[in-house]
Amino acid sequence: MADTKYIFVTGGVSSSLGKGIIAASLAKLLQARGFKATIQKLDPYINVDPGTLNPYEHGECYVTEDGAETDLDLGHYERFLNVNTSQANNVTTGRIYQSVIEKERRGEFLGKTVQVVPHITNEIKERIQILGQNGDYDIVITEIGGTVGDIESLPYIEAVRQLKWELGDDNALVIHLTLVPYLSAAGELKTKPTQHSVKTLMESGIKADILVCRTEHELSDDIRRKLAIFCNVRQEAVIQSIDAPTIYDVPNMMLKEGLDTVVLKKLALPDDTTPNLERWNQFLKRHKNPKAEVHIGLIGKYVELQDSYKSILEAFIHAGAENEVSVKVEYIHSEFINDSTIHNKISHLDGVLVAPGFGERGIEGKIDAVRYARENGLPFLGICLGMQMAVIEFARNVLQLKDANSTEMDAGTKHPVIDLMEAQKEVTHKGGTMRLGSWDCVLTEGSIIHKVYGTTEIKERHRHRYEYNNKYKEQLENAGMASTGINPETGLVEIVELKDHPWFVGVQYHPEYKSTVASPHPLFVSFVKAAHEHSVKQKNAKMAQK
C-alpha cells in the first residue's frame, strides 16, 4: 500500500471510557483482515514519561523491548496485536516540549519566536507520522489521552485538525468515544452529553467521522438516528459499545457493530475480506469455559488500584486459558502480613506471586510471604522486587544472615545480598535511567526455568536499579538456592530457584510485559499449571482424610 492511513481516537464526556480498548479492538479487526496496523498513545501530562509516576497516579508503567517506559495502554496494544511497540508508540507533552526547547537552544528555529502553533503542533504531527513513514504499517491508530475540552489536550486536538486537513479525507478519520448515560429516575438513555462533547470537538475545527458510544443499555434505532442528526455523522457510523464481560469480548462486539467496515469505507480501503478471528475466539472459548479453578495470592503494596499490576493480571488470564483453568487472584497488601495474619491470608491459596515495586514500605510482609511459600511447598513466583525478596528471605532464614537486606531498604546492612548496580551509583536523575528493555539471559539446562522455556537463551524486559549481589552467590547456591539464569554481558543473576521445592522461581525481569493472547508467557503458564497441580493434590489429601 502506497500511503499510510491515519485514525485518531478522541474521548469526551468522561475519562476511563476505554479509548485504548476500542483502539486495540479496531486494530485487531484490521489486522485480522490482513492490514498491518499499529497504535500509538499521546498523553497530555507534562511528565516526560510515566517512569517517575507512582502507580496510584497512573497505574503500571509498561516497558517496551527498546526500553521505553510508557503508558499502560501500550500493554493492551501488544496483548491484542501480538506486535511489539516502541518509544515511538507513546508521546507525552513533557517529551514534546523537551524536544522543542532543545531545538530552540540549538538555534534550529533561526531566531523565530517559539509558539504552540506552529512549533509545538508541528512536533506533535512529526511524532504522529513517524510510525507511518517507515513503510511497516498500512494504518496507524493514534489514541489521544484525556477528554476533549481539557486545557492540556488542546495542542493535540489542533495538531489532529491540521493533519487531517493536510492528509485529505480518504487518508485520515476521527473516532470520538463518548458516554451515553442511563438515568434510572427517567428510565431512559440521554444523548445530550454526547451532543455537547461533539460540539466541543467541532469548536476546535474537528468533525467526528464515527461515534463510539459507551452505554449500559442497548441503543435503539431512534437514539442512533438522533445522535446521527445532532452530531453530523451517518447513522451507520454510530457504534454501540455496551459494557462487556471482559475486554477480550470487545473486538467481536465491534465486528458485530460494523466498526471496521465503516472505517474501511471512509478510508477508501478494500472491504473484500472477513476478519479471521479463529485463534482469538479459541482463546475466548477456553477463557470462558474453564475446567477447574485456582486461587493465587498477589502480594503487593499497590493492591488498592488493580491497574498497578495490569500486565500481571492479564498474563494470568492468558495462562489460565492456556491451562483451561480460571485464575482467581486474591489481592493481599504486604503491609498487613505478619506472623499473626499470614496463615489466614495464605494457607488456602494454590500459589503466591510476590509483585514488583520500589521502596521499603511493605517489604517485611513480602519476605514473610516468601518464607511461607518456601516452607510449605506452595508454588511461588517472584517478579523483580519479588525475586529480590526471595533472596533476602533465604539469606536470613537458611544462611542465618539475620540482617541480610537490599541496600535500597537499608543502606548500612552488613549483608547486602541485593545491591545497587555499579553503573547506577553515580546516577542522580531518576527518570529513564534504570536497567530497561530487553536483555539476554542464558538458562541452566535441566532447571525448572529451562523446562519452562524449552531453550537455553531468552530475552526479557527489565525495569530496576538493584541486583543480586554475586558476592553471596556461592553461599546461596551451596545452601540450595540455584542461580539458573545469567546475563551473559554482565554476569548478573537473573533467575533463582529452589532445588527441593515443587515450583519456586524468582526472576529479575518482568515476564508479564511479553504475555499476549496469541502467545501466553510460558513462565505464567507453568506457574498456573503448578498451582493447579497443587490444588488437585490438596483436594485429594482432604478426600483421603475423610
The reply to whether 166 belongs to the active site is: no
* 16 marked as binding residue: yes
Residue 361 DSSP label: T
C-alpha to C-alpha distances, 512 to 131, 267, 503, nearest whole angstrom = 25, 35, 18
* 340 marked as binding residue: no
* 18 marked as binding residue: yes
* 317 marked as binding residue: no
Helix (H) or strand (E) holding 193: helix 192-203
The reply to whether 512 belongs to the active site is: yes
User: Do the beta carbons of residue 225 and residue 239 sit within 8 Å?
Assistant: no
Catalytic-role residue among 510, 521, 532, 534: 510
Residues 98-105: contacts with CB under 8 Å, at least 24 apart:
98/48, 99/123
* 285 marked as binding residue: no
Q: Cα–chain-centroid distance for residue 410?
A: 31
Q: Provide the grid cell at 521.
A: 508467557
Look-up: residue for cell 476546535?
Answer: 204
Please report the sign of the dihedral spanned by the C-alpha atoms of residue 65, residue 67, residue 68, residue 69: positive
* 56 marked as binding residue: yes
* 20 marked as binding residue: yes
* 143 marked as binding residue: yes
Residues 231-236: contacts with CB under 8 Å, at least 24 apart:
231/194, 231/195, 231/198, 232/198, 232/202, 232/207, 232/208, 233/208, 233/209, 234/262, 236/262
The whole-angstrom separation of Cα 228 and Cα 240 is 12
* 244 marked as binding residue: yes
Catalytic-role residue among 501, 512, 521, 534: 512
* 38 marked as binding residue: no
Helices (H), 16-54: 19-32
* 190 marked as binding residue: yes
The reply to whether 384 belongs to the active site is: yes
Residue type, 139: I
* 41 marked as binding residue: no
* 192 marked as binding residue: yes
* 15 marked as binding residue: yes
Catalytic-role residue among 61, 213, 384, 441: 384
Annotated binding site: 15-21, 56, 73, 143, 150-152, 190-195, 226, 244, 357, 385-388, 408, 465
Annotated binding site for L-glutamine: 56, 357, 385-388, 408, 465
Annotated binding site for CTP: 15, 150-152, 190-195, 226
Annotated binding site for ATP: 16-21, 73, 244
Annotated binding site for UTP: 15, 190-195, 226
Active site residues: 384, 510, 512
